[in-house]
Amino acid sequence: MANNKFGVFLPFYAFRNKQKNTPLFNLLKEAVKQSEQLNYHSAWLDDHLMINQMPLLETWTSLAALSTVTKKIRLGTMVTCNSFRHPSLLAKMAVTVDQISGGRLELGIGAGVQQSEHTAYGFDFPSPKKRVERLNEAIEIMKLLWTQKTADYNGEYYTLKDAFCEPKPTQKPYPPIIVGGGGEKYTLKVTAKHADRFDWGYLSSVDEYQRKLKVLETHCDAVGRSFEEIEKSCWPMGQIFLAENKKELDKLVPKWLPEGVSRKDFVKSNFVGTPEECVKHVQKYVDVGVNHFMLFFGDLPSLRGLKIFAESVVPAI
């Protein structure tokens, strides 16, 4: 897919209430294998323990399993929640997946946003400032464990003493770190310090995206890091619903419409269109320097949109 990288977001909840007799992992595995066959750069899992009463699998054990049934597609977390695992354990888990996959892990990590699942599972949920401070310490700890023979750390939230982590990651010095979250006061400071790539989720316009880039650049200047070291990523749209042409689109939209949602509102909150329209939209972000794109196909677990994008959109960009 040339120099542009296209990643497929495959959250567990996208497979809910679909093909009920098929195990959830089987549906996920088929989507990842198809993504690999279509030459997507990466496949990404969300990291939740509970979303209402939807069936969800644990992210890291799922990634380990997926790494054994794929060969080249990169596998990532979008994003793993720092609150759920001590960073020393997460460092070991990440090394394990990176080793099993032959160096294909992409580590997306964030401070955590859903209070209900923290409460339900017994995790504390402090203020955004404290959660981001913990995230900063966690990334510092993981880098130490991945690069030092032994690691000591004495922070406000975490401590290590003579911690030994072997083997080291297959990727050197460690897997790419993607900091998730767009909070401009706290999170972007951590992004500026640590991220190889950022993830802000879907923003409403290219203008808003460029404004946020300027904020991140200011934070990079403050910590003495080159802004150009951080790879530019974006979600060019929310959920994507693609059809080969307008006639097919008119037939499919009624099938895609959620109950109680008008076509007008559906089209307003999602990308609903043809490959030609999609190319024009994605190209706007290519033109401002983005080279990594996160894609969330709304017709999952159908792989139709996934296939149309790979075969008709990517070659035209």
The domain in which residue 89 lies consists of 5-316
Q: What percent of the chain has pLDDT over 90?
A: 91
Question: Which band of pLDDT confidence, cut at 50, 70 and 90, is reported for residue 22?
Answer: confident
Q: Give the other-Cβ count within 10 Å of 131's Cβ.
A: 24
Cα–Cα distance for residue pair 90/146, rounded to 1 Å: 11
> What is the per-residue pLDDT for 1?
43
Cα–Cα distance for residue pair 236/234, rounded to 1 Å: 6
Expressed in angstroms, the distance from the first to the final Cα of the chain is: 9
The stretch 88-98 carries a mean pLDDT of 98
Cα–Cα distance for residue pair 71/101, rounded to 1 Å: 8
- Contact in structure between 60 and 106 (CB atoms under 8 Å): no
CATH number of the CATH domain containing 191: 3.20.20.30
What contacts 190, CB < 8 A, 6 or more positions away?
132, 135, 136, 139, 179
Tens-place pLDDT, residues 103-122: 999 999 999 999 999 999 99
Cα–Cα distance for residue pair 8/310, rounded to 1 Å: 11
- Cα angle value 184/214/229 (rounded, 5°): 95
Q: Give the other-Cβ count within 10 Å of 39's Cβ.
A: 12
> What is the per-residue pLDDT for 16?
76
The stretch 38-43 carries a mean pLDDT of 98
Question: Which band of pLDDT confidence, cut at 50, 70 and 90, is reported for residue 19?
Answer: low
The stretch 16-44 carries a mean pLDDT of 90
Question: Does residue 99 surpass a pLDDT of 80?
Answer: yes
Reading the block at residue 199, the tokens are 């993830």
Tens-place pLDDT, residues 217-256: 999 999 999 999 999 999 999 999 999 999 999 999 999 9
Pairing label, strands 177-180, 239-242: unpaired
Supply the DSSP string of 25-48, one letter for each residue.
HHHHHHHHHHHHHTT-SEEEE---
> What is the per-residue pLDDT for 3?
84
Tens-place pLDDT, residues 177-218: 999 999 999 999 999 999 999 999 999 999 999 999 999 999
The stretch 165-169 carries a mean pLDDT of 98
Total domain count for the chain? 1
pTM of the model: 0.95
Q: Give the other-Cβ count within 10 Å of 48's Cβ.
A: 18
Tens-place pLDDT, residues 45-67: 999 999 988 999 999 999 999 99
Reading the block at residue 204, the tokens are 């409403």
Tens-place pLDDT, residues 112-163: 999 999 999 999 999 999 999 999 999 999 999 999 999 999 999 999 999 9
